[in-house]
Amino acid sequence: MHKEFLMGNAAIARGAVDAGLNVISGYPGTPSTEVLETAAKNNDGSLYVEWSVNEKAALELSAGAAYCGANSMVTMKQVGLNVASDPLMSLAYIGVKGGMVILVADDPGPISSQTEQDTRHFASYSKLPCFDPSSVQEAYDMIQDAFEYSRKYNTPVLFRPTTRVCHGYASITVKDKDERKTNKPEGFVKDSSKWVIFPRLSYNAHIHIEKRNAELSHEFSAYRKNEIFPEEKKGCKRGIATHGISFAYTTEALKGMEAPRILKVSTPFPFPEQKALKFLEGLDEVLCIEELDPIIERELIYICGKYHLDVRIYGKLTGNVQPAGENTVESVYNNIAEFMGFEPLDINPDESTPELPVRPPVLCAGCPHRASFYAVKKAMKGIKSVFCGDIGCYTLGNAMPLDMVDTCLCMGAGVNITQGIGKIEPDTKCFAFVGDSTFFASAITGAVNAVYNQADMTLIVLDNSTTAMTGHQPHPGTGRTMMGQVVDKIDITAVLKGIGVQTVETVDPLKLDEAVECVKRVSAQKGVKAIIFKSPCAVLIKPEKPVVIDSDKCKQCKKCINELGCPGIVIKDGKVTIERSLCSGCGLCSQVCPFGAIGGADNAD
């Protein structure tokens, strides 16, 4: 054992490796991404690591490995589990031979996600055991327990941290290399009565699962991470039931105070009923402090009904805890203050605070997506058109002044939504924007659909040769794998041609005139056609020298600012100025300035 300063996600990866991990697969998604990346970094050669093409593929690959007796882990964010839910639901019936952990990171807030869905529901829906760690240390310890339970019960288990645990850092105690467990997979043993799902098998498995989960509820009541604080306290009338990072907030809020009885639920499913009964004993009132959905709250209400307990349960359902968004130390303090009857904190902002500039996230200075959106916008000026966006950095194309994302739903949706709009509004020019990683993850089927069903649309692939939003992971088009191999790049043009898209043109969006011409030419054709805007992510290339504004030529018309919204152009002392620390010298603004006032660094002075 020794101490290390680790991010929650790194601790999870280390814990998995220390539990004898053989295979890890996943699809990037905040806040889960660093788990797989850390595992890859700690790979001594005994581990197989891959970024799969999407979450469904990743889950199925890890399942296959676990069929062979391997310890496998698949990682994703909460919305990724929607994509992987088909194999998940069936795999729950089939089970595994080795250990398999399905890591799904939830994102209260939401901070970087489309939804505030609660994976604890997926646990009860799929009937799979679920672990919910409350700290970085606990995440490290608990992931090892998760593998143990998985192996013991031959079932995949869910492991569900939330953003603040995933991205929190702490100095924690971890095992030395020689304390690591190893697992040697036996290999796949053919048995069609076990691995081939059929109605009869599912019926029998269902009976087995219900019995096992009742057993697990008992076992989890004794699980060391489901805790009551203080262990023994008589005469206590009030209790707080909580979980995850909210447990840490609760302890922080109650520091130096006479604390009520606290229940920390680390296994939301199967719910540790006996433990909860012990917690409820003698209490009059309980406050449930949860993030996302009131799951503990509903369980406690159910238990009170089942055992005829006269305990009042407060929480989200009673309006005593905020229904949506992230909890904070303050919000939890005030929830407790109201419950316990002490003075709440004054969280009203100071009246005299000057108005603060808002900083919504924006496309980086020099981002080629800005140029792509701008080219399409210029080409379609005055023409009735719709721009369906997708998930990635390029969702930020919605911001003013570009305003080029009319819809955004979920991974790969834009290409199909634009077809639906086109069926109702045939006079609209329909566009779908999709990034290269999203294209491989879930837009190919949409493109096939468009070709087959005779859609009239232009597919714009924003190819910056990486998965930028989540921190630059490789994908099938980059020619690199997480095992360090250099492999053949899968060519987007060839894929599109292969499925029958006749016109596929590639253009550099930073050559503005060419790009605009290309959009005009291609979008004028009938049927399904595609443009690939190819230019590397600005973060991955060495920036050029910042551009320079010739103050004699600049008329202060602010066209550059009003058309592009690049963070590299600011107003200083009333004058349009280049922020040299940000400008990457992409040259887009110099192509937009009507007076030729913006030039390359060489033109300076």
Partner 1 sequence: MQTNIMLCGVGGQGIVLTSKLIAAAAMEEDIPVMSAETIGMAQKGGSVFSFLRLGEGVSCPMFGKKSADILIAFEPAEAVRMLPYLKDGGKAVVNTHAIMPVTAALKGSNYTGDEMIDYLKEKVDDLLLIDGTKACEEIGSPKVLNMIMLGAALSRGVLPFDVAKIEQTMRNTVKPQFHELNSRALRYSL
Residues that bind partner 1 (CB under 8 A): 3-5, 30-31, 111-112, 135-136, 164, 167-171, 248-249, 251-253, 328-330, 333, 345, 347, 349-350, 352-354, 356-364, 393, 396, 399-401, 469, 558, 561-562, 565-567, 569-574, 579-582
Of residues 358 and 424, the one with the C-beta less far from partner 1: 358
Residue type, 196: V
Angle at 228 between CA 226 and CA 234, to 5 degrees: 155
8 Å CB contact between 315 and 321: yes
Burial pattern 339-376, b for ≥16 Cβ within 10 A else e, equals bbeeeeeeeeeeeeeeeeeeeeeebbbbbbbbbbbbbb
Closest approach, Cβ 382 to ligand SF4, in A, equals 21
Residue 595: contacted member of ligand SF4, partner 1, none (CB under 5 to 8 Å, by partner type):
ligand SF4
**How do 575-578 and 569-572 pair as beta strands?**
antiparallel
Residue 238: contacted member of ligand SF4, partner 1, none (CB under 5 to 8 Å, by partner type):
none
Of residues 170 and 386, the one with the C-beta less far from partner 1: 170
Establish if 365 lies at the interface with ligand SF4 (CB under 6 A). yes
Write out the E strands in 475-540. Answer: 503-507, 528-534
Establish if 368 lies at the interface with ligand SF4 (CB under 6 A). no
Of residues 29 and 587, the one with the C-beta less far from ligand SF4: 587
Of residues 146 and 549, the one with the C-beta less far from ligand SF4: 549
Establish if 47 lies at the interface with ligand SF4 (CB under 6 A). no
Write out the E strands in 419-525. Answer: 429-435, 457-463, 503-507
| Choices 168-176, 303-311, 473-481, 548-556 (CB under 6 A): range interacting with ligand SF4 | 548-556
Establish if 496 lies at the interface with ligand SF4 (CB under 6 A). no
Q: Which residue has the tokens 């009860």?
A: 124
Both tokens of 355, joined, read 């108005």
Closest approach, Cβ 171 to ligand SF4, in A, equals 39
| Choices 17-25, 45-53, 170-178, 586-594 (CB under 6 A): range interacting with ligand SF4 | 586-594
Q: Which residue has the tokens 């069926």?
A: 423
Establish if 560 lies at the interface with ligand SF4 (CB under 6 A). yes
Establish if 568 lies at the interface with ligand SF4 (CB under 6 A). yes
Closest approach, Cβ 262 to partner 1, in A, equals 13
Nearest-angstrom CA–CA distance, 312 and 396: 46
Chain centroid to Cα 172, Å, comes to 25
Establish if 555 lies at the interface with ligand SF4 (CB under 6 A). yes
Both tokens of 201, joined, read 């098998």
Of residues 375 and 469, the one with the C-beta less far from partner 1: 469
**Of 547, 570, 601, 604, which one interacts with ligand SF4 (CB under 6 A)?**
547
The 10 Å Cβ neighbour count of residue 230 is 9
Chain centroid to Cα 182, Å, comes to 30
Closest approach, Cβ 569 to ligand SF4, in A, equals 5
Of residues 178 and 351, the one with the C-beta less far from partner 1: 351
Residue type, 77: K
Nearest-angstrom CA–CA distance, 95 and 63: 9
Residue type, 62: S
Of residues 76 and 548, the one with the C-beta less far from ligand SF4: 548
Establish if 586 lies at the interface with ligand SF4 (CB under 6 A). yes
Which letter does DSSP use for residue 363 in this model?
A: P
Q: Is 549 helix (H, G, I), strand (E, B) or coil?
A: strand
Nearest-angstrom CA–CA distance, 18 and 174: 9
Establish if 512 lies at the interface with ligand SF4 (CB under 6 A). no
Closest approach, Cβ 328 to ligand SF4, in A, equals 36
Q: Is 111 helix (H, G, I), strand (E, B) or coil?
A: coil
- Selection from 120, 128, 140, 332 nearest residue 242 by Cα: 332
8 Å CB contact between 94 and 195: yes
The 10 Å Cβ neighbour count of residue 227 is 16
Establish if 13 lies at the interface with ligand SF4 (CB under 6 A). no
| Choices 11-19, 186-194, 292-300, 568-576 (CB under 6 A): range interacting with ligand SF4 | 568-576
**Of 125, 559, 577, 599, which one interacts with ligand SF4 (CB under 6 A)?**
559
Closest approach, Cβ 121 to partner 1, in A, equals 23
Closest approach, Cβ 307 to partner 1, in A, equals 32
| Choices 26-34, 193-201, 303-311, 555-563 (CB under 6 A): range interacting with ligand SF4 | 555-563
The distance in angstroms from the start CA to the end CA of the chain is 62
Residue 378: contacted member of partner 1, ligand SF4, none (CB under 5 to 8 Å, by partner type):
none
Of residues 317 and 362, the one with the C-beta less far from partner 1: 362
| Choices 44-52, 79-87, 234-242, 576-584 (CB under 6 A): range interacting with ligand SF4 | 576-584
Q: Which residue has the tokens 């290999």?
A: 187
Nearest-angstrom CA–CA distance, 8 and 14: 10
Of residues 381 and 572, the one with the C-beta less far from partner 1: 572
Which letter does DSSP use for residue 480 in this model?
A: B
Q: Which residues bind ligand SF4 (CB under 6 A)?
A: 365-366, 547, 549, 554-560, 564, 566, 568-569, 576, 578, 583-589, 593, 595, 597-598
